[in-house]
Amino acid sequence: MSYSDFGKKFTQSSGIVELMNDLGEALSINPDMLFLGGGNPAQIPAAQALFKAHLQSIIGQQSQIDRLLGNYQSPQGDPSVCDALASYLKRNLGWDVTRKNIAIANGSQSAFFIIANLLAGQRGDQETSIHLPVSPEYVGYADSGLSDNFFSASKPTIELLPNRMFKYHVDFDHLDIPMTAAALCISRPTNPTGNMLSDTEVEHLNALAEARGIPLIIDGAYGLPFPDIRFVPATAIWNNNIIMMLSLSKLGLPGVRGGIVIGNQEFISDFNAANTVISLASGTLGPMLLESMINNNDLDQLSNSVIQPYYQSSSEFIVAEIQREMSDLPVRIHKAEGAIFVWIWLQDLPITSHALYQRCKQRELLVVPGEHFFIGLSDQWSHKYECLRLSHAQPRSAISAGIKILAEEARAAYRDR
């Protein structure tokens, strides 16, 4: 079968396709696989119980069942959900928003596809791009553009920390934003590294974006205001120049595919038009669960007392396991400041991170090779091929077993060079 340029682009091998194929194999086909790859959240019993209670409340009322199953929602999403979320954001964060600043989408991945291609790509004879102030960034961005040269990026500075840790920072001294940049984009906390850009860094990036007349996209799938998986102080920052993306997946609801976009009213109106063409309407289950949790004052309790402590504890556990099992190897761990991953740097690794991933996969351990995450960097920076992303959302027994195998395979790679 012959495909269009679009078909060729979106059927080729890519980092996100490889990652999701591995995820599907580990969760559905081969349950014995040690799954330290992928972004599937943990199934936390207290969170699951809360979701069950709210779902039972919804299906206990015929009017709610009709709303859940029998009606298309408006292009923007259910107005009552948008009103509840706007009230929550105004009350808790002081954001000046109404329902007209909010749109519902079928997951933040599809929302980003629309946002990115509304802003960047071919504009007549000019190619415009999304600029990533810090690369590595989320692998799911990499192939989302409909045109070539869709992303540009800047290298971070690397701060070496005690106890074989390190941390990325925005390199403002060398932040070269192309004149063709149509937006800046960050995830906060960052997938894959768990890095939490400081309030100062975010405000500086927004000021640079405003000065250029372009928006700042903040992907808050793991961050503020919910599910708030962060282990350091931070402020939820939004204004009319910021396009904020939120997700229900990392609350523990990846199956409902619920994404949220918050922006100025003109942009949200345009987003809704594009989303209607692509999706017609968004699903209702995730938004109705969110509305129920907001109206019953359960959302912050879930984020702050259940989800955040769970992942902070699992993050500390996996870091300790890496430091113990890999103490004889030249490994540094990115300072864990949020999200559900740790990011490790195997200095002077004699094989690529993808080759190490393949070796681990042969032993039924899934990790994610770091080279896929350095989006927009075209040079052969050796650091790109020396990093791995590891998830700590699995049971501790799986984490321990997985780190042991990883240590053995890394040790063999250094020994065999």
Task: State the pairing for strand pair 34-35/365-366.
Answer: parallel
Q: Which one, of 131, 367, 24, 89, lies nearest residue 220 by Cα?
A: 89
**Per-residue model confidence (pLDDT) at position 340:** 97
- For residues 220 and 281, membership in a common domain is answered with yes
- For residues 292 and 306, membership in a common domain is answered with no
Measured between alpha carbons, how far is 399 from 392 in angstroms, rounded to an integer?
Answer: 7
- For residues 79 and 213, membership in a common domain is answered with yes
**Per-residue model confidence (pLDDT) at position 25:** 58
- For residues 106 and 221, membership in a common domain is answered with yes
**Per-residue model confidence (pLDDT) at position 289:** 97
**Per-residue model confidence (pLDDT) at position 1:** 81
Q: Is residue 64 assigned to a domain?
A: no
CATH number of the domain within which 135 lies: 3.40.640.10
Q: Is residue 251 assigned to a domain?
A: yes
**Per-residue model confidence (pLDDT) at position 27:** 54
**Per-residue model confidence (pLDDT) at position 8:** 75
Secondary structure string (H, E, C) spanning 188-248: CCCCCCCCCCCHHHHHHHHHHHHHHCCCEEEECCCCCCCCCCECCCCCCCCCCCEEEEEEC
**Whether 107 contacts 316, CB under 8 Å:** no
- For residues 207 and 117, membership in a common domain is answered with yes
Q: Which one, of 334, 248, 332, 316, lies nearest residue 285 by Cα?
A: 248
- For residues 179 and 289, membership in a common domain is answered with yes
pTM of the model: 0.93
**Per-residue model confidence (pLDDT) at position 178:** 94
Of 228, 263, 297, which residue is a domain's last?
297
Measured between alpha carbons, how far is 373 from 114 in angstroms, rounded to an integer?
Answer: 21
Name the burial class of residue 198, with classes exposed (0-12), middle (13-18) and buried (19+) by CB atoms within 10 angstroms of its CB.
Answer: middle
Range of the domain at 313: 5-47+302-415
Per-residue pLDDT tens, the chain, 417 aa: give them: 877 777 777 776 655 566 556 655 555 556 778 999 888 999 999 999 999 999 999 999 999 999 989 888 888 899 999 999 999 999 999 999 999 999 999 999 999 999 999 999 998 888 999 999 999 999 999 889 888 889 999 999 999 999 999 999 999 999 989 999 999 999 999 999 999 999 999 999 999 999 999 999 999 999 999 999 999 999 999 999 999 999 999 999 999 999 999 999 999 999 999 999 998 889 999 999 999 999 999 999 999 999 999 999 999 999 999 999 999 999 999 999 999 999 999 999 999 999 999 999 999 999 999 999 999 998 889 999 999 999 999 999 999 999 999 999 999 999 876
Of 297, 316, 340, which residue is a domain's last?
297
**Whether 196 contacts 338, CB under 8 Å:** yes
Q: Read off the amino acid at residue 61.
A: Q
- For residues 145 and 223, membership in a common domain is answered with yes
Measured between alpha carbons, how far is 88 from 218 in angstroms, rounded to an integer?
Answer: 19
- For residues 333 and 360, membership in a common domain is answered with yes
**Per-residue model confidence (pLDDT) at position 23:** 54
Enter the tokens of residue 244: 């904020």
Instruction: Please give the angle made by the CA atoms of 110, 308 and 232, to the nearest 5 degrees.
Output: 95
